[in-house]
A and B are shown apart, each in its own frame.
Chain A
């Protein structure tokens, strides 16, 4: 955490303690009530952002978890006489279990992202509402909690609720902060920018999404439980209304959904202004204003208030950035973990898409420390092969193995963990991460498994290695194509792979950039990493490769030393057509 953020966190802690002290002193009930509501919204918005803001899976179902919590507490306390505070635990647990169940199904299906996820979660809310309404849980008349004894934490009931709300809000913001700065948080942010690439870089995407969803829902459940006591009369209509999903989205989007403090800021601003309108027609107007604000924010301030403000501060701070201690990559590379001993083997790999057979029984091997060039005309299956080896696709038939470890059918993040790295032909960096953060992510999740502190130094080292040391704090959209390609390389290297798959890394570069890229690949090779190198630029393939394999229409048609392969009749025919062979 930078010094600045440390100061912010400290002042927040002081504010929280101060607010806690106020509770002890005792405020007029109106203020306690008002502040309780603010705390509740802070908890709701911040918890929502843990999945939806960080990972980008916009959920419209936060109301379902809030409602589940409310009804759990209402039922347990009013019907079964369970002490109120215990019901809160149950409320959180029920909501979390609901999320885990829903997530386990939905997150597995690749297509259910974006707007489909949003719609499904919205539908879940209404389904839950209907079930609650039609079963004995509510049955129609609602549940009264007026008979439930309030725990005597403080002098007055509102005081107790105020304290509970404060504790929840502080705990939630603390949790959000912890997650944001943890490996889980890095992984979630990466999922937000490009989930498939995150998976290939080693982030266990399914697990992380589930964890985030469950934590988010659990907190909403507890908030619901407390709120049940606050309203003391729980009905389906009020509980599962569109209010909660709408407001949490707006608060987070306004404040900045990606930042741990953003939703809290948004919650304070929105909730304060909302409660200026009370009841009746004003409530209706209030909702309309909130919706209008949501539209305006999406159109004009998509990042949110907090990140925009921070960016101003950061651009001023960047000029005075102190140099980061660099770990010499040469030293790192000679460490035992990077010395590869296992060959990469593909045996009889088949892959089809729709009706097209992209790969037909491709077999190849890359010996430790070897550079294997993979060439072939357009559509011959080169990129598909890389996608299969790295785990982006599963092969229909055949095996892929690294030494004795089978990689066939494993999720991409496990394959990355076993020492496989790849670059993309059109670079796919994480847009919201700086260059250094991009590389650090690979260091954290790849075979290297660095701690966050080490990862930063490691990343700087690899950036220096690829000549991007001075661009460490730049964002990808500020880099030109050449720099983005080298960023891909640095990112691939930071995972300390045993094998790197390069997919047309030279395409789009001008001649001098190509020369420096070739030099870089040589340097990588000198460190002992095996390279599978797809390229159209034949002269580069000839210069660099130990061996060359030619692919045509999904089949290997030639394999051997570069000179003999490129002179073979069959290969010349494939590239130039028959007459040249005769000439």
Chain B
């Protein structure tokens, strides 16, 4: 049985259909990417899995549990953690306080000390800046806090929404290295990325989302050669 299963999801955003008929699945410990141009509905999809939004129709199961029936603040209790697009840190709270919110749910809170150590080990610079206000950090550091916050929840599935957005190329390299490390520890990851090359490098499988529905899916190696992606992003035919 897959860890995450979405079937024929339809989600509205701002009164308009953002996603119609999206289906995907993800197995335990897998790293799957969702790529596609802006406005394709990728974030809407991920936010729905995380519980921030409700799907209008379709099925969404996590480890067999029907997520559409779970209230927003209980979704994380099932083992899903979100690294939102644009980080969305609590800017007026310190780095450490942001991380602590990550393990707000009681099971994760018990292992707080241990998990915090692990996060600081992964991101040493955060240990240095633990008391600094999250809003005053650089983009790359903020991304680290966002990922760390999600890791504090000890999730089984990590949702990463555009982690490379607005970051300098060297920082992006660093970020993806860390994502690889996290994956190696056995966490399943659903990665949404605008940066196609990086996403396909990292993920074993990918879904291509365009204008609200899945237009292509398959192994990364295969997709990389697919001309449909060039079309989707650059509008070029046979480039």
Contacts and interface: CB of A to CB of B under 8 A. Distances in A.
A: contact size bracket: 20 to 34
A458 interface: no
Nearest to B212: A510
A365 interface: no
Interface stretch (B47-55, B100-108, B177-185, B189-197): B189-197
B40 to A, nearest CB: 9
A426 B230 contact: no
A481 B165 contact: no
A580 B196 contact: yes
A294 to B, nearest CB: 32
A487 B194 CA distance: 31
A451 interface: no
B91 to A, nearest CB: 10
B1 interface: no
B196 A538 contact: no
Nearest to A504: B39
Contacts of A282: none
Interface in A1-24: none
Given A379-B166, A542-B235, A577-B195, A480 B39 contact: no
Interface stretch (B13-21, B23-31, B68-76, B150-158): B13-21
Interface in B184-235: 194-198, 201, 211-212, 224, 230, 233-235
A577 B201 CA distance: 11
A232 interface: no
A538 B234 contact: yes
A576 B162 CA distance: 13
Interface in B1-48: 13-18, 37-39
B236 interface: yes
A579 B166 CA distance: 19
A275 interface: no
Contacts of A567: 236, 239
A575 interface: yes
A138 B18 CA distance: 65
A347 to B, nearest CB: 26
A577 B196 contact: yes
A269 to B, nearest CB: 37
Given A480-B16, A538-B233, A566-B234, A508 B198 contact: no
A579 B39 contact: no
A522 interface: no
A536 B38 contact: yes
B235 A480 contact: no
A263 B162 CA distance: 52
Contacts of B39: 504, 507-508, 536-537
Interface in A543-583: 553, 566-567, 572, 575-580
Contacts of A379: 165-166
A511 B215 CA distance: 14
A316 interface: no
Interface residues of B, number: 28
Nearest to A508: B16
A541 B197 contact: no
A580 B200 CA distance: 11
A378 interface: yes
Contact of A575 (B212, B224, B234): B234
Nearest to B224: A579
A116 B224 CA distance: 55
A581 B224 CA distance: 12
A333 to B, nearest CB: 30
A426 B233 CA distance: 22
A579 B197 contact: yes
A536 B38 CA distance: 6
Contacts of B198: 577
B14 A576 contact: no
Nearest to B86: A379
Nearest to A575: B233
Contacts of B165: 378-379
Contacts of A541: 235
Q: Which of A480, A507, A538 has the most CB of B within 10 A?
A: A538
A539 interface: yes
B234 A572 contact: yes
B230 A580 contact: yes
B168 to A, nearest CB: 9
A378 B194 contact: yes
A336 B234 CA distance: 39
Given A504-B39, A567-B239, A576 B211 contact: no
Interface in A411-429: 426
Given A511-B211, A538-B233, A567-B236, A378 B197 contact: no
Contacts of B162: 378
Contacts of A140: none
Interface in B71-114: none
Contacts of A578: 197
Nearest to A509: B16
Given A508-B16, A576-B233, A536 B37 contact: yes
Given A379-B165, A536-B37, A536-B39, A426 B195 contact: no
A102 B194 CA distance: 50
A377 interface: yes
B85 to A, nearest CB: 9
A144 to B, nearest CB: 57
Contacts of B195: 576-577
A427 to B, nearest CB: 9
B18 A508 contact: yes
Nearest to B193: A577
Nearest to A376: B38
A378 B18 CA distance: 17
Interface string A464-483: 00000000000000001100
A549 to B, nearest CB: 16
A510 B39 CA distance: 12
Given A576-B196, A577-B195, A578-B197, A378 B38 contact: yes
A28 B166 CA distance: 79
Interface in A377-398: 377-379
A510 B37 CA distance: 15
A138 B98 CA distance: 57
Nearest to A485: B16
B234 A577 contact: no
A576 B197 CA distance: 6
15 contacts: A426-B14, A480-B15, A504-B39, A510-B17, A536-B38, A537-B37, A537-B235, A538-B37, A542-B235, A567-B236, A575-B194, A576-B234, A577-B195, A579-B197, A579-B224
List the 5 closest pairs (A to B, CB-CB), nearest first. A577-B197, A538-B235, A481-B16, A539-B235, A536-B38
Given A511-B211, A575-B234, A579-B201, 20 more contacts: A355-B136, A379-B165, A379-B166, A480-B15, A480-B16, A481-B15, A507-B38, A507-B39, A508-B14, A508-B16, A508-B39, A510-B212, A536-B37, A537-B39, A538-B233, A538-B234, A553-B166, A566-B234, A577-B196, A580-B196
